[in-house]
Amino acid sequence: MKDQYGRTIDYLRISITDACNLRCRYCMPESSSGCGMEGAGKEPLLSVEEILKLVHAATSLGITHYRITGGEPLVRKECVELVQKMKAVPGVSSVGITTNGVRLAECAEKLKQAGCDSVNVSLDTVDTAEFAALTGRDALEQVKNGICAAKEAGLFVKLNAVHRKELHALELAAFAEQMKVPVRFIEMMPVGAGKSYVGPSNEVLKKELEQWYGARTPDLSRKGNGPAIYETYEKLSIPVGFISAIHGKFCRNCNRVRLTSRGFLKLCLCYENGVDLREVLQNETVEKLEKVIAQAIWNKPMEHCFERPKDMTEHHLMSGIGG
């Protein structure tokens, strides 16, 4: 469906939990309550049935691409079941998952069987000590095993790294090359704990990668459901993607909305605007639900205001929003 600015909204990120088995400093630091939606944490999570009802309604509005996220989606035991049931909804084109990879090794084969279309693994460093310091857990080997298992299961895997100023992009690109999976660098957004880690522009990384891996060429053939711009490098066989929300604002082409694990439909990462769908999901028909979603999406804000942090109204942690 279209919003008031003529943008086609066809992508929904669904957070299925705000719990997580890591404590990434920029997302859900140890000092936080462990729940990204402070204050709203007492509401129960949406049930599988409620999420499916929402997917039916959203799909009939033209939202056909879905990504399951969290918190950490694989800590919720119904995650694989949900992928499988969402894929069975008529009109759904793709269902992917974004995970920290810690539990991926045990879930990869089941995700494949469930019809999962892609697995994005968040990995910010391939250094064991740095991983433990950044995430609060000594789990790098588990994540690497998860990536291998996902590849072996035949899943389409991508790596996502958030651009902090300490990021070692060359090492991550070398690891991605070794694994033969695309890697994407995401500019840190000033959301939640991320405010203290906002780093330099992705342009810096492009230059750094070019010095090491040779001349870069835009890879226009590669277009997923998101805002990543891909490039190839002479000495790398994998594509490298850049998601530059801050220094390459892409709001004009934004195609997405987000559902929190407690049923709030969020329209933009920057603001708290949106609509609480829990009651509608529980008490109203799919037709009424469609109307409420359509009206909310129509009012999606024109653009984020990360460059003017004082105007931001979103104050939750990213783990409560789903990234």
Which residues of the chain form contacts with ligand SF4 (CB under 6 A)?
20, 22-24, 27-28, 70-72, 100, 122, 319
Stretch that binds ligand SAM, among 59-67, 108-116, 168-176, 314-322 (CB under 6 A): 314-322
Find the binder of ligand SAM among 20, 147, 257, 268 (CB under 6 A): 20
Residue 7: how many CB atoms within 10 A of its CB?
18
Side-by-side strand order, sheet with 216-218:
216-218, 229-233, 240-243, 183-187, 157-163, 118-122, 94-99, 65-69, 11-15, 256-259, 264-266, 274-276
Check binding of 202 to ligand SAM (CB under 6 A).
no
Residue for token pair 């089941």:
110
| Closest residue by Cα to residue 100 from 129, 75, 128 | 75
Shortest gap between Cβ of 54 and ligand SF4 (angstroms)? 21
120-141 exposure pattern, b = at least 16 Cβ within 10 A, e = fewer: bbbbbbbeeeebeebbbbebbe
Find the binder of ligand SAM among 46, 63, 70, 134 (CB under 6 A): 70
User: Could you say which of ligand SAM, ligand SF4, none residue 186 binds, taking C-beta under 5 to 8 angstroms by partner kind?
Assistant: ligand SAM
User: Could you say which of ligand SF4, ligand SAM, none residue 194 binds, taking C-beta under 5 to 8 angstroms by partner kind?
Assistant: ligand SAM
Residue number with CB closer to ligand SAM (161 or 209): 161
Residue type, position 101, single letter? G
Element (H or E) spanning 169, and its range?
helix 169-179
Shortest gap between Cβ of 298 and ligand SAM (angstroms)? 27
Burial group, residue 264, by CB count within 10 angstroms (0-12, 13-18, 19+): buried
* Interface of this chain with ligand SAM, residues 135 to 174, rule: CB under 6 A: 160, 162
Round to whole Å and give the CA distance between 321 and 242.
21
Shortest gap between Cβ of 183 and ligand SF4 (angstroms)? 16
Residue for token pair 């990879």:
101
User: Could you say which of ligand SF4, ligand SAM, none residue 228 binds, taking C-beta under 5 to 8 angstroms by partner kind?
Assistant: none
Check binding of 185 to ligand SAM (CB under 6 A).
no
- The residues of the shown chain that bind ligand SAM, judged by CB under 6 A, are 20, 26-27, 69-70, 72, 98-100, 122, 160, 162, 186, 188-189, 191, 194, 318-319, 322-323
